[in-house]
Amino acid sequence: NAGVTQTPKFQVLKTGQSMTLQCAQDMNHNSMYWYRQDPGMGLRLIYYSASEGTTDKGEVPNGYNVSRLNKREFSLRLESAAPSQTSVYFCASSEALWGRREQYFGPGTRLTVT
Amino acid sequence: KNEVEQSPQNLTAQEGEFITINCSYSVGISALHWLQQHPGGGIVSLFMLSSGKKKHGRLIATINIQEKHSSLHITASHPRDSAVYICAVRDNYGQNFVFGPGTRLSVLP
């Protein structure tokens, strides 16, 4: 099993460009999450999907959109990138929502917006 | 006030030392997680607990629900334990999973 995979691993964008971060899991998990991690700060939740067909905003959703394409895949889109979105993005999945089951994390995508 | 706080922020230890990392939180929770982030950036879940104590190898996690406090202990520390250790809780009153800022541990040979 590959676990949680993310693409790309690194990306540099110019302000105003758009891109989609891809995430897939092969553990048949119901719930998936997108986090960002900034230097000196804890991980912060951007969006989550409790189950296939549902998505909800987290703590810092502005500037992002998500799609739960199917049970395996959960993508994060930046429509018009801004320097404030420079961060490391982690996708995660879990069998059940939130703290009832442990979360499995992808390797992260390091995004720089210039 | 941050919902989840950790101490110390940074910790340097000699190989073989017993290490304790603390986590305190201000809200009611359903479960608390301890995560390890490797120097390369990968994040691994170590423990999920809602009461008592759990042990896995040289790692022990405890939680005191009444005092809203959890500790992660590492016995016989080793340089490969060098990582950032993160505490996270699910807030009973919100739809969020809140992370602490992390404790950076360096174990010297």
Average pLDDT of A86-95?
95
Residue B62 DSSP code: E
Q: Is the pLDDT of residue A3 over 90?
A: yes
Task: Identify the pLDDT of residue B10.
Answer: 96
Give the nearest partner residue to A108 out of B29, B35, B41, using CB atoms. B41
Beta-carbon separation of A99 and B97 below 8 A:
yes
B interface with A, Cβ–Cβ < 8 A, is 4, 29-33, 35, 41-45, 48, 50, 86, 88-90, 95-102
List all residues 6 or more positions away from A51 whose beta carbon is below 8 Å from its beta carbon: A30, A31
- The full 3-state SS of chain A, as one line of letters, equals CCCEEEECCEEEECCCCCEEEEEEECCCCCEEEEEEECCCCCCEEEEEECCCCCCEECCCCCCEEEEECCCCEEEEEECCCCHHHCEEEEEEEECCCHHHCCEEECCCEEEEEC
Sign, CA torsion A107/A89/B83/B1: negative
* Cα B104 from Cα B10, distance rounded (Å): 5
Taking contacts as CB-CB distances below 8 angstroms, the residues of chain A near B27 are none
Q: How high does pLDDT run on average in chain A?
A: 92
Q: Which of the four pLDDT bands, split at 50, 70 and 90, describes residue A111?
A: very high
Q: Which of the four pLDDT bands, split at 50, 70 and 90, describes residue B95?
A: low
Average pLDDT of A65-88?
96
Task: Identify the pLDDT of residue B2.
Answer: 65
Q: Is the pLDDT of residue B18 over 60?
A: yes
Task: Identify the pLDDT of residue B28.
Answer: 79
Nearest residue in A to B38, CA atom = A107
Average pLDDT of B48-67?
93
Task: Identify the pLDDT of residue A42.
Answer: 82
Q: Is the pLDDT of residue B41 over 90?
A: no
* Cα B89 from Cα A98, distance rounded (Å): 9
Distances from the Cα of A10 to the Cα of A32, A62, A85, A95, angstroms? 21, 22, 14, 28
Taking contacts as CB-CB distances below 8 angstroms, the residues of chain B near A45 are 96-97
Least confident stretch, A29-43, A57-71, A91-105:
A91-105
Task: Identify the pLDDT of residue A89.
Answer: 97
Two tokens, residue B56: 């896995």
